[in-house]
Structures are given as C-alpha cells and as structure tokens.
Amino acid sequence: MALQGKKVLVVGLARTGAATVRFLAQRGARVKGSEVKSAEELKAPMETLRGLSVEWEFGGHTLPFFLDAELIVISPGVPLGLSVLKEATGRGIPVISEIELAFRFLRRPVIAITGTNGKTTTTTLIGEMLRAGGQSAFVGGNIGNPLIQFASGNQEENWAVVELSSYQLEGIETFRPAVAVLLNITEDHLDRYPSFPAYGKAKGRVFENQGKEDYAVLNADDALAFSFAHRVESQVLLFSRERPVPVGCFLDRGGILFQAPDGRRERYDLDRVKIRGAHNLENLMAAIAASRVCGCPPGALQKVMEEFEGLEHRLEWVREVEGVQFFNDSKGTNVGAVVKSLMSFQEPIWLIAGGRDKEGDYGPLKSLIREKVRGMALIGEAKERMFGALGNGTETVKADSLEEAVEWAWARAKAGEVVLLSPACSSFDMFENYQERGRRFKEIVNGLKKRSMPGAATKGGIA
C-alpha cells in the first residue's frame, strides 16, 4: 500500500489510534485524526504524538473532515455503522481497520484468535507455547500492543499471535492468518450488532481470505463455530470436550489427545495443570492444536500447560479468608463467560454481577444460579433488568457499589464457599474498564477486616 503523500484519516485516538497515527506519519502520509472525546480527555495518547504534523478534530466527527480523506482507518471501538463512515464509503473512500492496515505491511505469518470468550487466555498460551518450543512470537492485537506496532518495527519475531475482536474483523479486506482459531460464539455486543447472526458473521470473517495451505481451528461443541467447518477453504482442526474428533484435540481419561493431520496421536496430561474450569480445557485444546501445526514440540506444550497460572481478571484467585475463597472474574463481561465460570466451581457461590447492560439474554444463567449460587448481589446500570430476569433464582439484593456487594457476600459466606465477581456486563458505567473493576475488587477483598455480623451489610443502599 502506497502511503507517501496520501491523506489518511484515523478515527479513534486511544492507544491503537495513536500507534496508527505514528505508523502513517513515519511512512509519509498526510495524517488526520478524528475523535469524539476532547483533547483534554486524550492527554496521554496525544503526548506520544507530540512533534508530528497531524490535522486534528476533537469533540465529534464531521462529514467534511471525513470526505477530505483518501483512506480512513478505524480503531477497534469505532463502529462501521457511523453515519459519517457510511457516507464516506458511499462516495468511494476506502474504510479499513487497523488490523487490515498492519497486515499489508507484515512479513511474518499470523495466528489469529477470536471468539466470544477465552481469547486472551488462548492467545497468551499460544505465545508461551511458541516461545517454549524455540520460536519467537509477538503477542498482541486486542490485548497488549496493537498489531500496527509490530508492523512498524523490525518484525524480528517468527510469528504474530493476535487476539481479534469482532469489531476489528469488521474492517478487513485482505487479512489472511496462517492459523485462525474460533473458540466459541455466544451472545455479546448486541448493543452494537443488529442481531446475533450478524455478530457471528463478523467473527467468521477471520477465515474469509484463507487458502488450502492455512488452518482453521474450531470448537466442535459450539454449533455456530462448528458450522464454519463446512464453509472454510483452509484445513480444519477441531477441539471438543464432548467427543473424539478426526483431526484436532479431545478429552480422554484425564488428558488431552491430539490427533495430527497425518494420523499421529499425542497425549497431554492434565494432572499438573493449574488453571481450572471447563472453558480452560477448551482454551488448552485450541492452543495445542494451533501450536502443533506451527511446529511446536509436544514437550514444550506440556511444560507450558503445567506452568501457566492463568490471567489477571479471569477466574483469578484473590484470597482465602476464614475458609471463604474470593475469585476475580471481572473479564467475564457476557453471559456465556459467566456460565463457564459458574460451571468451574463445585463449591456454593456468592455471585457479584452487573454493570452496563449489553442487551443480551440472561436466560442461560437461570438454572445455574438455582443450582450453584447461594446468593447474588447486583450492581450498576443493569441491576434492575438482571433482578427481573434472575432475582427469583436465589437470595438476591441490589447494591449501590462494588464495596457494598462484597461486604454483603462476605457477611454471609461460610467456610468452603466462594465469593465470585463475574459481572456478565461491561464495566463502563462505574469503571474505566474491566481491569479497573477487577483491581478495585481485589483491593476491597484484600482490605476485608473482621467478618461482619449477619445482616450488617443489608443497610446503606442494598435493597
């Protein structure tokens, strides 16, 4: 892609947008930037762009500013449905995602991981497995550093391992991963997509440019993910917790069996694996399949499986107090994630949920809450709708803050039980992001003093 002298507009100026502006400026583009936030709100990323010649628009998007561009690059959080973007595309101005721009400058093969849940864990596992097997890897995308940052550097690593959201996949044209992993598709982001099938279609775009020499790794237990097995051009590897698969990974008596494309079988033991939960078995199987077709030796994979302790904010053990265990699952921002988190525990659970509603169906949680949840504290903007949908399944209260919710659960939990933050909602009503929410939860838990008397936490805003 020729960029010298081209007028390129970057929409969205947070971390990814700022990295994209730098990339374009380094290649001689005439860069413009448009952002709905004020310049004051974007002090940190703007500081990294000091000295660059960029034409800025803050506090909203205007049509003349967009129509003055020859190419538009959107950051991950920017919806393609914006009226100014529709108008621009209608007038023949190309609109692509940062992922697409980066791909056009890559000299290394890509492993792309998408799905509703488990992306970050699986992406991290694959990166660790590649490194343990003697190959170097850039790990980023929707986590850590944006792919455009890797594209702008020396690209010394053997692989680019990238987590991709549906948002990022909306704006691709030629993006073609050598290995594409689709973990699952459950209801999420229905506040952005017109329907669940539209969301699933966005996820499936990860395969659309693959050829016969590429690989698609698919969840055989997820009907929508599995449906792509008959539609992709690439070689299919499956993974399943429920049944053997012809090529890929499946569970077998305390281990994972990998059936290689050439018919060889390998066994990976689960005895010393630290991460818990059915969903993490799926993540491990997906990581094994992807890493093996990239040439990682089995011993390296087994080593990573045994040493990997999981990620912050994803079923993260925080503390045990008087026999009560506290887990931070702040990254559980949709119903499907919470279903898998609840299924990970045999112990009775005191659940803290709520936040900004994503307009999904809370129905899949009903039976699990009746079966596993002793009590539930709801917070944030979604608490009223969640109370209406789930409140009759167990003892349920509405709290005004995360602090009150933790205190309420702590006052009631007994030794051998679990207090779990797993919100099923985004964090943006009360926190900057899910990381801040998770860190605040850990601060509250680590600051817990002598146990409150039963009933003491029912005052002060809990209804």
pLDDT digits over 148-193, tens only? 999 999 999 999 999 998 889 989 999 999 999 999 988 655 556 6
- pLDDT tens digits, residue range 414-460? 999 999 999 999 998 999 899 999 999 999 999 998 665 544 443 33
Instruction: Answer yes or no: do 335 and 424 share one domain.
Output: yes
CATH number at residue 44: 3.40.50.720
Percentage of residues of the chain with pLDDT beyond 90? 78
Contact assessment for residue 409 and residue 375, using Cβ atoms and an 8 Å cutoff: yes
Give the H or E element holding residue 436: helix 434-446
Cβ 127 vs Cβ 289: under 8 Å: no
Distance of CA 132 to the CA centre of its chain: 24
Q: Is residue 1 part of a domain?
A: no
pLDDT at residue 153, rounded to an integer: 94
In tens, the pLDDT along 61-117 reads: 999 999 999 999 999 888 888 999 999 999 999 999 999 999 999 999 999 999 988
Residue 11 shares a structural domain with residue 144: no
Tell me which DSSP letter residue 318 carries. E
- Distance in Å from the first CA to the final CA of the chain: 58
pLDDT given for residue 158 in this prediction: 97
For residue 400 the two structure tokens come to 């005004």
Q: How many domains does the chain have?
A: 3
CA distances to 102, 109, 136, 160, 223 from 156, rounded to whole Å, are 15, 12, 8, 10, 38
What is the pLDDT at residue 362? Answer: 94
Residue 2 lies inside a defined structural domain of this protein: no
106, 48: one domain: no
Residue that terminates a domain, selected from 274, 307, 340: 307
The answer to whether residues 161 and 22 belong to one domain is no
| Domain contains 87 | yes
Q: Categorize the per-residue pLDDT at 278 as very low, low, confident or very high, splitting at 50, 70 and 90.
A: confident
Query: Can you read off the two tokens belonging to residue 84?
Result: 């100014």
The residue out of 60, 75, 93 marking a domain boundary is: 93
Pairing verdict, β 324-328 and 248-251: unpaired
Give the containing element (helix H, strand E) for 121. Answer: helix 119-132
> What does the DSSP assignment read for 320-354?
EETTEEEEE-TT--SHHHHHHHHHT-SS-EEEEEE
Instruction: Let me know whether 289 and 159 are in one domain.
Output: yes
pLDDT, residue 462, reads 56
CB-CB contact of 355 with 436 (8 Å)? no
Sheet with strand 255-259: strands edge to edge? 137-141, 159-163, 110-114, 179-182, 215-219, 235-240, 248-251, 255-259, 265-269
- pLDDT tens for each residue of 116-146: 889 999 999 999 999 999 999 999 998 889 9
Query: Which is higher by pLDDT, 277 or 154?
Result: 154
Quick check: is 463 in a domain? no
Domain that holds residue 127: 100-307
Query: How many residues does the structure list for the chain?
Result: 463
Q: Are 427 and 437 in contact (CB under 8 A)?
A: yes
Judge if 123 and 197 occupy the same domain. Answer: yes
Strands across the sheet containing 7-11 = 54-57, 30-34, 7-11, 71-74, 95-97
Report the CATH number at residue 447: 3.90.190.20
Among 240, 277, 221, smallest CA distance to 422 is for 277
67 and 182, same domain (yes or no): no
Is residue 326 domain-shared with residue 271, that is, in the same domain?
no
Q: Is residue 170 part of a domain?
A: yes
Q: Give the span between the Cα atoms of 267 and 258, in whole angstroms.
A: 6
Instruction: Write the DSSP string, 198-258.
Output: HHHHHHHGGGTT--TTSEEEEETTSHHHHGGGGT-SSEEEEEESSS--SSEEEE-SSEEEE
Give yes or no: residues 132 and 160 share one domain.
yes
Average model confidence (pLDDT) for the chain? Answer: 92
If asked whether residues 88 and 109 sit together in one domain, one would say: no
- The CATH number assigned to the domain holding 206 equals 3.40.1190.10
